[in-house]
Structure 1
């Protein structure tokens, strides 16, 4: 094994790169892509410089793998953007601060309010049907309301 590692040719590096890229297809999440690219880069350098010592080949492979991984990490971090709709997929969060009418009277702290074409469970101070309430919080499917008289 040691002799093989000391005599790696450009074909061996390119084969390692291709194997890593094939494994990436099976869902490694981008990790093997950059290591495979590093192996392919060492293969190209070994083709161009056939007398490159094996120690230098492995050192370059490690450096290229780290450099490409850092490049990808920085690129991914810079690609994160703030959404113009921060409450998207957080059902109920967009209702906080808005006023609605009581659909079923809130009695003993429980009732229902009409929101657009739907009805939500509500908890808050006792209120008759038709009273105006403001949503102040959300706990799962229950909206916490307060009177807006």
Structure 2
């Protein structure tokens, strides 16, 4: 076992790093990638400086341990920077838009067509074909006002 560590060289670290990164493709979870990156960096550093095998293993351990907090900091999403804020809340995206009533609002309920979807609306009684503005969304029900 000691002989294996003594023969650790630059190419071994580079191959080990690429192998770990490739394994990440088979078992995704971002954990193996960072270990592979640490091994790859040790290999690149070994090109510049020729450290002993003990120092190489120590550098690998430091890089691998540092990768976790660095990744957490990088992956941390900024508040309010959601790329799709209406994901799974499609009705909220309709608030403020104007549509034409498909069926009249009678006794406070009617139908409006949004693209290829029919939505139930509530609001003041108006005739079909009237332009209405969505003022509130509550699940699958929309509240409208006159546009």
Question: How far off its partner does 1:112 sit?
Answer: 0.7
2:96 partner SS? coil
The aligned residue for residue 58 of structure 2 is 59
The aligned residue for residue 35 of structure 2 is 35
Tell me the TM-score normalized by structure 1: 0.62
Q: Which runs of 5+ in 1 are unaligned?
A: none
Distance in 1, matches of 2:83 and 2:15, equals 45
Q: Pairwise CA RMSD of aligned residues?
A: 4.0
The aligned residue for residue 93 of structure 1 is 92
Question: How far off its partner does 1:129 sit?
Answer: 1.6
Question: How far off its partner does 1:139 sit?
Answer: 3.8
The aligned residue for residue 50 of structure 2 is 49
Equivalences, count: 144
Q: Deviations over 1:5-48 (max 9, x none)?
A: 75451254334223202212335254323321211332344564
Tell me the TM-score normalized by structure 2: 0.63
User: Pick from 121, 124, 130: which aligns with 1:123?
Assistant: 121
2:90 partner SS? coil
Going from structure 1 to structure 2, the CA distance change for 1:68 and 1:79 (only over 3 Å counts) comes to farther
Q: Deviations over 1:125-146 (max 9, x none)?
A: 451324554322224443222x
